[in-house]
Structure 1
């Protein structure tokens, strides 16, 4: 069965963006980029991968989920046109290659997607969408950046207090100071 993977850059104090959606302080150069390009090439915008000559095989992810604010950040009508892109919005709409904008309940969409054949499903962001899908997330891949924002958009937005356990699968530290940590949800039997 396909898994929902929340793959995101996050600051040391738990933010995926600044208060107004800023993300330009995140490190986009350094040895950690090799980890992204080698293992997670499908998470690069299609035009960026093409410009860098990086193959996007859809072996890791073939679907990406985004809230409207995350979708509109790059200003591209189809930022990940090599993937099936599902954008959640109750008020906005857009049309582009491999893009679907829906007002459906994200939980119902994810449960349906998990039953389909294919590679894993990438939850790109944002924090409010991640909070609504928290119970459906099977794995986390966090690119912890050596930064403090002080305030901004939290990794999981607002959700009720309910501790949930994840186990570390792998941690890779780079000289840039970025640390990739992959965690898998602990499912109680």
Structure 2
């Protein structure tokens, strides 16, 4: 059975975005670390499907398609190609079609659809966000592996993915020279 993996960047005070979805803290005061970038590619390569919440989809799709189409010299090209070429499923209660390459919209019941996807043949499944969508997956105990990248930044208030108590077991930790730390957790 395929696993549902969560990869998310988080502040040291537990937020995945500012109150209005701001992500500027991810790049503040940190230098690019090639080994952390390679780890993100490695995690992406372990999957063949990306799940997205509707609210973050437009920004995600537009960003990665722009890198592929218009920024041939970007250092992000290897990841961008994966993001664009991989199967993407957007969960929405309000839309039945969203433009984007290799993108499907799913309006079905979340837990049932995810359980069905896990039973399909193929590599694992990755979810990157958004915050409310990920919170729903966590609340329904659908996440099999948590890859939480803690950034050396605190923002004081913002969006969180944990809405209730959730016990996790730390499986591994990688510290990067840019101050970010990747912790892999498993549900208890």
Where on the TM-score scale, by shorter chain, does this alignment land: which range? Answer: 0.7 to 0.9
Q: What is aligned with 2:93?
A: 90
Q: CA deviation at 1:185?
A: 1.6
Please identify, of 123-132 and 134-143, the stretch whose mean Cα deviation from structure 2 is larger: 123-132
Tell me, in whole angstroms, the C-alpha distance in 1 between the residues paired with 2:101 and 2:60.
15
In the TM superposition, what whole-angstrom CA distance separates every residue of 1:11-35 from its partner, at most 9, and x where no partner exists? 1111111111111220285354422
Contact conserved, 2:61 with 2:84, CA < 8 A, in 1?
A: no
What RMSD over aligned residues (CA atoms) do the two structures have, in Å? 2.2
2:40 corresponds in structure 1 to 40
TM-score where L is the length of structure 2: 0.79
**Map of 1:152 onto structure 2:** 158
| 1:176 match | 178
More helix by share: 2
Match of 1:61 in 2: 47
The higher relative CO (CA closer than 8 Å, separation ≥ 6) is in 2
**CA distance in 1 between partners of 2:40 and 2:124 (Å):** 12
Corresponding residue of 1:81: 84
The structural deviation recorded for 1:42 is: 6.5
Which 5+ residue runs of structure 2 have no aligned equivalent? 66-82
Q: Distance in 2 between matches of 1:153 and 1:181?
A: 19
Count of equivalent residues: 167
| 4+ residue segments displaced more than 6 Å | none
TM-score w.r.t. the length of structure 1 is: 0.79
1:110 corresponds to 2:111: no
